[in-house]
Amino acid sequence: MAPAGAESGGRSAEPAGFQNPVAGFGVTFKAMFKKRLTEQYPEQPKTTAPRFHGRHQLNRHPDGLEKCVGCELCAWACPADAIYVEGADNTDEERYSPGERYGRVYQINYARCILCGLCIEACPTRALTMTNEFELADSSRENLIYTKEQLLAGLDEGMVDSPHAIYPGTDEQDYYRGLVTEAAPGTEIQTATSKGEKPDSEGVDA
């Protein structure tokens, strides 16, 4: 019977003892002629793939109202328990989204988040998406908890900051049908008044 570790014919499967270091240097030798992959970060940050999962964003409708309805589905879908949501009812005086409810409190803890994207898949209104921003490191745990104000998207052309009324003559469904494309004339006055600010007459449509 052949001894354990030996091939048939009496030859050993292992290289001879003096060959082991040489084989190790072979790997090093091959790597010496490969193209260098050193990246000059942060001076020259690399562009991410278009669908890279980075920092989250809470999106708005084209008139500036918020898409989040405070349903908490994203929080339930999160395997890392990184999302905290508190929903609340909209009122005629203070409306943040076209429907009945909105996200009053919204937080994502980036000390927990693994950027897996399950939360954005669970969101029924496409309120929650992920950007390509990946520079999220911080030395403070507190700073890694992003609030709704930090996550809410900025205002594009034609948008007015919430709270304000829905576009006159439309309902919540019309927002999802794409029938509302910008804020109604006079929305800025309404928003400023509801925030207790003095309306800026120059920035208001006739």
Q: Is 123 annotated as a binding residue?
A: yes
Assess contact for 87 and 71: CB atoms under 8 A. yes
74 annotated ligand-binding residue: yes
Please tell me whether residue 99 binds ligand SF4 under the rule CB under 6 A.
Answer: no
Taking Cα atoms as reference points, which of 80, 81, 107, 102 lies closest to residue 91? 102
Residue 200 CB, nearest distance to ligand SF4 (Å)? 30
184 binds ligand SF4 (CB under 6 A): no
Per CB under 6 A, 117 contacts ligand SF4? yes
User: If you compute the radius of gyration of the chain from its CA atoms, what whole number of angstroms results?
Assistant: 28
Q: Which residues ranging from 41 to 80 are in contact with ligand SF4 (CB under 6 A)?
A: 68-74, 77-78, 80
Give the integer Cα–Cα distance in Å for 158 and 71.
Answer: 27
Please, which residues have CB within 8 angstroms of residue 50's CB and are 6 or more apart in sequence? 132
Q: Which is nearer to ligand SF4, 57 or 187 (CB)?
A: 57
Strands (DSSP E) contained in 38-193 are 56-58, 83-89, 101-109, 128-130, 145-146
Cβ of residue 122: shortest distance to ligand SF4, in angstroms?
Answer: 6
Alpha-carbon gap, residue 74 to 81, rounded angstroms? 10
Residues whose CB is less than 8 angstroms from the CB of residue 39 and which lie 6 or more positions away in sequence, other chains included: 46
92 is in an annotated binding site: no
> Per-residue string for binding with ligand SF4, 125-164, x by CB under 6 A?
x-xx------------------------------------
Binding residues: 68, 71, 74, 78, 113, 116, 119, 123
Interface positions with ligand SF4 (CB under 6 A): 68-74, 77-78, 80, 82-83, 85, 103, 108, 113-119, 122-123, 125, 127-128
